[in-house]
Structure 1
Amino acid sequence: MNLRLHHFILWAAFVALMFLMPQFVGNGTLRTMIFACYLAIFAISWDILSGRTGYISFGHPFLVGIGAYTTAILTRRYGFPVEASIPIAVLVTMVGGLIVLLPALRIKGSYFALVTLAVMELMYQLVPVVRPDLTGGTRGISRLPALTRGAENGYYLAVGLMLVIALMAWLLMRTRLGTALWAIGMNEESVRGSGLSTTRLKSFAFLVSAAVAGLGCAFYAHYLGTITPRAFFDINVLFQIIVAVLIGGAGTILGPIIGAFFMVFLLEWLRPFLPGQERFFVYGAIALLIYMYQPKGIMAIIDSGIAWARGART
């Protein structure tokens, strides 16, 4: 069997395991897996732009936060139904990202990363003080309407949303557009020399990334039932998203999902031993070891294992 068929079998096993999980674990584990699913969605979103084009964005929490606050304000302050607020949140995320972050795509390298980081920090400082009657200030907005009731229903909703987004992202990256985005990450000057508009391609990647982030955070906000600036704009959110991608394998679809689940469950496993922030040091050390051993992440380790098994069998 070739590597592609092995990946298909891996995907099928993963999907089957996800949908059977509520039969074997309790509600506490399901809630942990729900958080892992939404983190995986944010990681896929970041990977569409940064993992493909090589433009490392430190402003992704801005996209996540603006979508969450949009649906929260519409439902709690203006009485919009959730079914209408979520599409609007996705649209606002895309438009807001275009206005604020798209001009930064003309900047290369570390300058792009610094500009996006500055935007995220600016939003973190502004949200609590600008129109606190709408944003709730530092307390945020609570009592958001729920989409489902119960841990099991919330789990199936999160898993279904994650898998649909992963499938759409996989199909997109199989097209010529996806190949062009890969090429930008490898050699942008060559892509520009071939007659393609790299600005349009990067803008397209950014729009898709923003749409996925907006959709994921809108659902996540209604799952949590409350939002605060720290929960969405904080630097820890950025850290979790990027590390999930790097651990799992940037430039893949399954890699960010694996990285998100690995990170969430490792932190939960360490909680009884290190209940404070110390467990992040242990987690960071483990993540560093994985990255040093295989910079392409867990997906590359899995591929190497498959190749070794094929060679041993031959």
Structure 2
Amino acid sequence: MTTTTRRAEKPAALLVPSPGRHRRNSKAWAPWALLAPFLLLFILTFAIPILTAVAQSFTKVTRQGVFGEQGVTTEFAGFANYAQALSNQNFIASIGRMLLFGIVQVPVMMVLCIILALLLEGASARWPAFFRASYFMPYGIPGVIATILWSFLYVPGLSPLIDIAAQFGIELDFLGPNTVLWSIANIVTWSYTGYNMLIIVAQLKTIPNEVYEAAKVDGASSWRVARSIQLPLIRPAVILTTVFSIIGTLQLFAEPQVLQSVSPAINSEYTPNLSAYTTAFAYNDYNVAAAQAVLIALVAFILSFAFLRLTNRRSK
């Protein structure tokens, strides 16, 4: 008698992939697929240039021959490029000049944008959309064009302001050694006040109407509402715009470069970015220029970090 044994066959359901598992896998990859274009651009335009600049700041390139036709040697330089950058008195002076610029210009601009934002969001404000667009419009003008426009008010013989002041015996010199820095500050303030104002306006719009109604019931005046309600609640936006302004101060480049052609007081290393640009493209010393760029980034980070620590300590 023969016994036949048959292997149990697996159910068909076990041989077919689970649709739930497929959906879970697709959901896990969906965010990365959406982020892939941004991440690719971020790596190519931000991460790789920064890492390249840091790497070049620690290397030294020696060219044999006039144009390096006899060979190019790259070697590790340690902190030699940083020492050379810090020994450049013009570069150090440019950082000090921008610190003075920021100490004066940033607070003035922040006060202006806060006042404008509060006025535009006031209950009695008329045509707020028109004035918001008008104040923001200078930000849409490129820095080079804005500097050219303002130079017509700075250059003697072209400026009506200088001619009018001369009629009253007042001599104005917007491009002199002691005034050109504040002429640049005026251009920057004119360009970026509206931009910072919009950020603060966006923060003001998040304040619930119930808060204003409660203050009205309590008989609070407009000044009291601004001081006790609006100013404390827009603090995050003010901190954000101040940090942006501190970083932008050290990145100043277009305005002094354009005014350099009409103001002898502006040299080729007037600002830190202009100094790094001159070192790279006028002196062909890209490694020292990379070290200067890294130092500028470090100074911006230190200043921003110190400001954030100070504001956080006061809030506590």
- Provide the TM-score with structure 2 as the length reference: 0.30
State the structure with bigger RCO (CA 8 A, min sep 6), 1 or 2.
Answer: 1
User: Computing the radius of gyration over CA atoms, which structure comes out larger, 1 or 2?
Assistant: 2
- Provide the TM-score with structure 1 as the length reference: 0.30
Q: Which protein has the bigger helix share?
A: 1
